[in-house]
Structure 1
């Protein structure tokens, strides 16, 4: 929990960033977010630039104190991926919150992607564009046949690198804590990391630092070469990577393990994810094949004759169990999201994928250093 002076410093930082890119025609916004303990201050920053029509918290990452605080000041609605997967339902919802307004969509995971074209065509107001926070969301927008509005992605921003690195560390921390809750340890169990993006690299490095043997699997050949250059064993196939692995960390954002893959998981293995279960693990397909038995909090044993394994945190981002904190580094990404929202409101960007300009990122980093490390 932040001290009062720390909350004041965060507010001042966001105020400085928000005021650095003036918005002459104030838009509305819909905000999908992880509603963690520090998030109300970020939402205050969003409210400096836009009229927040609604906040939609991701259901598996809600801090109750933050939820109460935000509900006292803003409209909070339930986030439902099925609603946004149906263009008609999505448009009806957006109309109910921001009819006739210029509207920016702040996304975490590509929720608005399936309905974006329909929203562009049928919404009574104007969709200014989208700001996307995550790699899997970036990919969902990139895969659309045509983008009719600008989409600013911060997923591959250098300002996100510190967050991704520290998320990997927190994933290993939470995985180890849950394994230890069963009087077990990581050491002595070969590990498999599926996905060698920025978070997967951090997970692999942290496991290596704990003297755990790591095999990396990635469908991208370049990433496998990168993993090999860092001293990790790599596997040419997922089956090879899973063979004998005592625990598996899924870091792809795009179904690391599907129905048929679970049969190849070693007996007694622990499976952890760095993102939502509906993005990483096809667990729903196992309901008719495996019995589910909770063994400890956040640990579920899946078993059938001759085969069993453990799923941590119901297949959701395991680090959210312990708050997923990455310290003040998360503020860098949130500040870039604010800058992207301001740029959308400027109306200077056409349809397509965009990044925040390098000079804006430099300004954000300099401001962050001033507020949080006393560097000018």
Structure 2
């Protein structure tokens, strides 16, 4: 069973998958092994992920490993309808389409878990939360994975409160995930989404980046590379200090609101840009969000203080405030890199989804051996992904000599 916008779009989706897979050699090598070994045979996997061509490559890899796979979208604006159609035609139980309502979003979780699930793959932890709060199937799940910082934070709280019902692999915490996906991938795809929605010149503009985690620093770095003047806002003193010593101006949002031409939120928290900030912004300021949920910009407040609202183009809305000032909201305040563009480049998602595939295999192999807690990706998986990626890029590195291996294992030798 499936529910997509138009199954006739499948041929277009096939072409999108072909392009993605050409640029995902690590995942393709895992698929080749999965196809011969079938390590996931008989496993039911339910996933809530952004339904992109890269996600499609992961789903087909899991299927090649012998799994029964069902997929729902993790954001109302991130589903690529042609990809969803192609996956449905390939036997994946897809319940996703661009523009689905909040009710559809949660109903699709019901659909992909209706017959139970052995493994849960999630992007933001909404499906994990659903399995714990609203589904009777949570006790039967042998494990799950989580793709995002936001989701991992939620799951750690569940672990601390003693309510987590199955082990989780925090894929987000793999070095080969957050150093590249969160930082480089989000940095580039955020710029991509903003430019697709607006086609504005970034050079010379003052860009305010809220949050200096891995996502925020990636955005700030790439904005500076495009010639923008970048201001960072933070609540964490260590990250604020790091941003300062990386050469960025750092100040509270109350001050930055008056200076910015473009605002990009990347904190994972709510109410980062509030009504008082909106009222103090320049005429013509642009508002974008790269955090997982659409809570960082107070869109309800923006609508409340506006006298006129108009959609100008895909991913761009105009709001005229009571004082005549105009503000522009991108992608409805949702993830701008997916709501107004295609998300991360395939080359980056190659590593993230290689971790996902191997984490799922790890959970199956260790069934019944893991506690109900959040685990990091095992170092051997992280190192395998990095080494394989380097090999596909034609990059060679040194190996330690036997003497060096022995040296780093001892404590007696000093100066």
TM-score tier, shorter chain, comes to 0.7 to 0.9
Structure 2 counterpart of 1:67:
84
Aligned with residue 265 of structure 2, among 250, 262, 269: 250
Supply the distance in 2 between the matched residues of 1:91 and 1:297 (Cα, whole angstroms). Answer: 27
Structure 1's 90 and 258: CA in aligned 2 closer, same or farther, altered over 3 A? farther
Structure 2 counterpart of 1:131:
145
Quote the offset at 1:83 in angstroms.
Answer: 7.9
Quote the offset at 1:239 in angstroms.
Answer: 0.9
Structure 2 counterpart of 1:239:
254
Quote the offset at 1:357 in angstroms.
Answer: 0.9
Supply the distance in 2 between the matched residues of 1:202 and 1:124 (Cα, whole angstroms). Answer: 36
For the pair 1:193 / 2:212, whether they are aligned, the reply is no
Structure 1's 302 and 50: CA in aligned 2 closer, same or farther, altered over 3 A? farther
Comparing 255-264 with 203-212, greater Cα deviation is found at 255-264
For the pair 1:267 / 2:303, whether they are aligned, the reply is no
Q: Is contact 2:27-2:354 (8 Å) kept?
A: no
Aligned with residue 110 of structure 1, among 125, 131, 150: 125
Q: Is contact 1:195-1:252 (8 Å) kept?
A: yes
For the pair 1:228 / 2:237, whether they are aligned, the reply is no
SS class of match (1:62): coil
Structure 1 counterpart of 2:406:
none
Q: Is contact 2:264-2:289 (8 Å) kept?
A: yes
Aligned with residue 58 of structure 2, among 23, 42, 50: 42
SS class of match (1:254): coil
Q: Is contact 1:17-1:335 (8 Å) kept?
A: no
Structure 1's 8 and 288: CA in aligned 2 closer, same or farther, altered over 3 A? closer
Comparing 334-343 with 46-55, greater Cα deviation is found at 46-55
For residues 210-248 of structure 1, the C-alpha deviation after alignment (integer angstroms, 9 at most, x for no partner) is: 33211101111111011011011101x221222221110
Structure 1 counterpart of 2:3:
none
Q: Is contact 1:18-1:338 (8 Å) kept?
A: no
Structure 1's 327 and 24: CA in aligned 2 closer, same or farther, altered over 3 A? closer
Supply the distance in 1 between the matched residues of 2:185 and 2:204 (Cα, whole angstroms). Answer: 24
SS class of match (1:214): strand
Supply the distance in 1 between the matched residues of 2:127 and 2:54 (Cα, whole angstroms). Answer: 24
Supply the distance in 2 between the matched residues of 1:36 and 1:4 (Cα, whole angstroms). Answer: 9
Structure 2 counterpart of 1:355:
376
Q: Is contact 2:275-2:301 (8 Å) kept?
A: yes
Q: Is contact 1:167-1:326 (8 Å) kept?
A: no
Structure 1 counterpart of 2:115:
97
Q: Is contact 2:168-2:374 (8 Å) kept?
A: yes
Aligned with residue 331 of structure 2, among 313, 316, 330: 313
SS class of match (1:140): helix
Structure 1 counterpart of 2:361:
342
For residues 257-311 of structure 1, the C-alpha deviation after alignment (integer angstroms, 9 at most, x for no partner) is: 2455433333211011114552433313433332211233322111221132111
Quote the offset at 1:140 in angstroms.
Answer: 1.5
For the pair shown, the structure with the greater C-alpha radius of gyration is 2
SS class of match (2:209): strand
Comparing 311-320 with 218-227, greater Cα deviation is found at 311-320
Supply the distance in 2 between the matched residues of 1:277 and 1:5 (Cα, whole angstroms). Answer: 28
Aligned CA-pair RMSD: 3.1
Give the TM-score, by structure 1 length: 0.85
Supply the distance in 2 between the matched residues of 1:84 and 1:294 (Cα, whole angstroms). Answer: 23
Q: Is contact 2:46-2:113 (8 Å) kept?
A: no
Supply the distance in 1 between the matched residues of 2:40 and 2:215 (Cα, whole angstroms). Answer: 38
Q: Is contact 1:28-1:50 (8 Å) kept?
A: no
In the alignment of these two chains, the number of paired residues is: 365
For the pair 1:330 / 2:344, whether they are aligned, the reply is no
Structure 2 counterpart of 1:57:
73
| Unmatched tracts of structure 2, length 5 or more | 1-15, 398-415
Q: Is contact 1:31-1:52 (8 Å) kept?
A: no
Supply the distance in 2 between the matched residues of 1:330 and 1:336 (Cα, whole angstroms). Answer: 10
Q: Is contact 2:95-2:108 (8 Å) kept?
A: no
